[in-house]
């Protein structure tokens, strides 16, 4: 009993070595008052152009990982088909589906995507 009491008292000891940092919040009355890095990206969305030339007629669908449809169209064989997708800036990828095939569109980097789906 004495050992458990000693353990309980020593484990409940307050740690006085912690440094508490108070936030330095300043009042902002306009966007001009904000202090952000020069490379800060204010965009909340991004656009990517998709180029697609199918070998057969079918339906092309672009969706996110939660199955939200961003684009859907009937395309003809051997005709160039281009469209623009707009996604949230935080979105990393979208997916193209055509005649049982799937292709991932990486949204980080380039703003033009040439599909390999046939």
How many Å apart are CA 112 and CA 118, to the nearest integer? Answer: 18
Residue 4: per-residue pLDDT: 56
Q: Is residue 71 included in any domain, yes or no?
A: yes
Instruction: Identify whether 65 is part of a domain.
Output: yes
Contact between 79 and 53 under an 8 Å Cβ cutoff? The reply is: yes
Answer whether residue 24 is part of any domain: no
Look at the block and give the residue holding tokens 């092309």. 60
* Residues spanned by the domain of 57: 45-112
Structurally, the chain folds into a number of domains equal to 1
pTM above 0.95, yes or no: no
- Reported as a single tens digit per residue, the pLDDT across 60-91 is 999 999 999 999 999 999 999 999 999 998 89
13 pLDDT more than 60:
no
Please give the pLDDT value at position 60: 97
Kindly state whether residue 1 falls inside one of the protein's structural domains: no
Residue 89 lies in a domain: yes
Which pair of structure tokens corresponds to residue 56?
């057969």
**CATH at 80:** 2.60.40
């Amino acid at each position: 009993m004495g050992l458990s009491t000693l353990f309980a008292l020593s484990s409940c000891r307050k740690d006085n070595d912690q440094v508490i940092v108070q936030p330095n919040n300043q009042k902002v009355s306009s966007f001009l008052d904000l202090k952000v890095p020069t490379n800060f990206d204010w965009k909340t969305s991004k656009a990517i152009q998709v180029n697609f030339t199918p070998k057969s007629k079918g339906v092309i669908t672009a969706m996110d990982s939660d199955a939200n449809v961003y684009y859907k169209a009937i395309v003809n064989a051997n005709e160039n088909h281009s469209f623009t997708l707009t996604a949230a800036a935080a979105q990393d990828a979208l997916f193209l589906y055509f005649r049982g095939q799937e292709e991932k569109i990486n949204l980080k980097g380039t703003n033009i995507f040439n599909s390999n789906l046939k």
